[in-house]
Amino acid sequence: EAGVVQSPRYKIIEKKQPVAFWCNPISGHNTLYWYRQNLGQGPELLIRYENEEAVDDSQLPKDRFSAERLKGVDSTLKIQPAELGDSAVYLCASSLGPGLYGYTFGSGTRLTVV
Amino acid sequence: AQKVTQAQTEISVVEKEDVTLDCVYETRDTTYYLFWYKQPPSGELVFLIRRNSFDEQNEISGRYSWNFQKSTSSFNFTITASQVVDSAVYFCALSGVSGGYNKLIFGAGTRLAVHP
């Protein structure tokens, strides 16, 4: 079974440019998470989807970040415009459902804003 | 508020040494789950264990063992006879009932380097 697939693996952009990350969760996983991991820190939740609905986006900086999960499968996380402080690893995870179902994480997208 | 503290930023050991990674947590939830994840250089988070707050039994899985002590709010992880392949960043995480168990609160991680 394929795991959680994320692309691109690495991205370098200049500040003020837009950037998008893509996540393909495990087939059948209804819950999808985006986490951000700053250098030397643990991941922090940005947004959680149940199917196509964003049920927890309280940690998402909505002035520049947006996300979507059309048809409740793949998801895209966008930053526009990017700032230097957005440099981090963006991790996607999925699970069968909310709560205590096991989380499976992708390998992440490492974003560097210069 | 919920918080996970991993006081050890980096640990360096020689192969075959035993090593313990510390984890201390804070939560007001009476029901919660604790996790350990491994993050190798490839970047993905690999699930190692989940323990619920009502189960204080220690667990052993091969060279890995976990010591959960509710009295000290600690959930420590020991690797016996460490190997070079154990080199990675290890994260302890907490998920509580107040959040519907929908959110993992991670510690800052401990980077373990095992040298030949």
The mean pLDDT values, 10 residues at a time, for chain A of 114 residues are 91 98 94 95 95 92 94 94 97 84 89 98
Low-confidence ranges of chain B (pLDDT < 50): none
Nearest CA in chain B to A31: B102
Determine the pLDDT at residue B59: 87
For residue A97, the distance in angstroms to the closest alpha carbon of chain B comes to 9
In this prediction, residue B102 carries a pLDDT of: 83
Q: Give me the pLDDT at residue A19, please.
A: 98
Whether A99 sits inside 8 A of B103 (CB atoms) is no
- Residue contact B106–A44, C-beta within 8 A: yes
Query: Are the Cβ atoms of A100 and B47 closer than 8 angstroms?
Result: no
- The pLDDT assigned to A99 comes to 66
Tell whether A113 lies on the interface with B, counting CB pairs under 8 A.
no
The answer, for B110 touching chain A at a CB cutoff of 8 Å, is no
C-alpha distances in Å from residue A76, one per residue of A35, A42, A54, A90: 13, 22, 12, 11
The Cα–Cα gap between A56 and B12 comes to: 38
A93 touches chain B (CB under 8 A): yes
pLDDT in the model for residue B65: 95
Cβ contacts of B46 on chain A, cutoff 8 Å: 105
Alpha carbon distance B89, B107 (integer Å): 11
